[in-house]
Amino acid sequence: MDKISNYEDDDSARHNVERFVLDKLFTQDSIGGEGHSVNISELMESLDSNMSPLFDQTIEDLIAQGLIQSSDGENYEITYEGVKEVEHRKKDQIPL
């Protein structure tokens, strides 16, 4: 039973990190324009320390889904698909 609740907590925390990253990159894209990136250290500094272990996996998942990209592994930006996904989730009020 403990493994299930840990998994649920992990899943919830991962969704929180995903929502944070997408929202941060979406906001930065809206302010800075297309192609404006955010440094990974800036993203990590803004996270609660207990969410940091999930950060790397979340970044990898978002890249695999085509929602974010990085040309150098340090600076990330939201993709067109990522923008559409954030807008869709906000419109339909689906939690990220």
Residue 15, pLDDT above cutoff 60: yes
Mean pLDDT of the chain: 80
Domain definitions of the chain by residue range: 2-92
Question: Which of these, 65, 73, 81, 79, lies nearest to 35 by C-alpha position?
Answer: 79
Return the structure tokens found at 68: 């974010």
Looking at residue 94, its pLDDT comes to 55
Tens of pLDDT, residues 18-54: 888 999 999 887 776 666 788 988 888 888 777 778 8
**From the candidate CATH numbers 1.10.10.10, 3.40.50.2300, 1.10.3720.10, 1.10.600.10, the one assigned to the domain spanning 2-92:** 1.10.10.10
Q: Average pLDDT in the 62-79 region? A: 94
In whole angstroms, what is the distance from residue 89 CA to residue 94 CA? 5
Return the structure tokens found at 25: 């990159």
